Amino acid sequence: MSRSRPGAEVHAWQPAVAGISEVLHARFDEHAYPVHTHDTWDLMLLDDGAVDFALDRTRHGATDAGRVVLLPPGVPHDGRSIGGLGFRKRVLYLSTAVLPERLAGPAVDGPILLDPALHDRVHLLHGALRHEEDTLEAESRLAFVRERLLTHLDARRPPRQERTDHRLAVRLRELLDSRVRTGLSLDEATEVLHAHPTHLIRCFTRAYGLPPHTYLTGRRIDRARALLLAGERPVDVAGAVGFYDQAHLSRHFTRHMGVPPARFGRRGA
């Protein structure tokens, strides 16, 4: 949903990714939020401008683009533009299934996170969330964001596994190969393989040189190429190999092959 007024642009939607209740992208020339609370964690990227906010009666200023701000659930806060600069932000509203509410204390103590790696992970997650058909990629990126946030909140790190990592990667590859058309959620994979999400993704990436969602997309492209070369129409190929629709197929196929599906295999094209 988009809504705007002079000096403001706001775009918000509910993604089909468990743990994220809303995504919000906004630009304000000047704006002030009243004191309020949420029942979610607010994970904000400040892309431009400067903001000032009070969290639990302590004021903080985020004055440099590239900052990551984490506001915990149930804690009063406000927010406003400062210096006449306005600001642009991207916000993820994360449920307490992603970060437990008991970690609110450390977040209140340090809501501004100076962590380029975390910023990059959140940025890439926003990119994945723009495409509702890329659920597995978004789930995977959310798992890594969660892991990084837990380290900042001094939570217990995910348990380390014994060195059965390669076998775990092989089992995940076999599972993905059996589900090329129907797809596989990260929750399903972790339930079947009894592994922590980020550990599972890392095992697979170390073994095969790419993350599971990229591997799955590649397998779908391989199947699409065979069907296209057999004379099938792109509109029929998309659903047959597991893409959301023809546009989803075209986007990934063109990125992989350099030409859209309709031009693939044409002589003299």
Give the pLDDT score at 223. 92
Does one domain contain both 53 and 105? yes
Residue 249 lies in a domain: yes
Rounded distance between C-alpha atoms, residue 37 and residue 76, angstroms: 5
Rounded distance between C-alpha atoms, residue 111 and residue 60, angstroms: 8
Q: Cβ distance 161 to 194 under 8 Å?
A: no
Residue 92 lies in a domain: yes
pTM (two decimals) = 0.74
Residue 157 lies in a domain: no
Does one domain contain both 169 and 108? no
How many domains, the chain? 3
- Among left, alpha and beta (phi > 0; psi -120 to 50; other), residue 56 is left
Residue 191 lies in a domain: yes
Does one domain contain both 77 and 180? no
Q: Cβ distance 38 to 157 under 8 Å?
A: no
Does one domain contain both 199 and 222? no
User: Domain range for residue 40?
Assistant: 2-113
5-64 pLDDT per residue, tens: 457 788 889 999 999 998 989 888 888 887 777 889 999 999 988 888 888 878 888 767
186-220 pLDDT per residue, tens: 999 999 999 999 999 999 988 888 899 999 999 99
Does one domain contain both 31 and 106? yes
Residue 204 lies in a domain: yes
Give the pLDDT score at 132. 84
Give the pLDDT score at 82. 82
Q: What is the side-by-side order of every strand in the sheet holding 68-71? A: 2-5, 8-13, 20-28, 87-94, 41-49, 68-71, 112-113
User: Which of 113, 135, 154 is the C-terminal boundary of a domain?
Assistant: 113
Residue 155 lies in a domain: no
Does one domain contain both 257 and 227? yes
Does one domain contain both 186 and 258? no
- The dihedral formed by the CA atoms of 128, 129, 130 and 136, expressed in degrees to the nearest 10: 60
99-132 pLDDT per residue, tens: 998 888 888 888 999 899 999 999 999 999 998 8
Banded model confidence at residue 264, pLDDT cuts 50, 70, 90: confident
Give the pLDDT score at 265. 66
Q: Cβ distance 56 to 74 under 8 Å?
A: no
Does one domain contain both 82 and 181? no
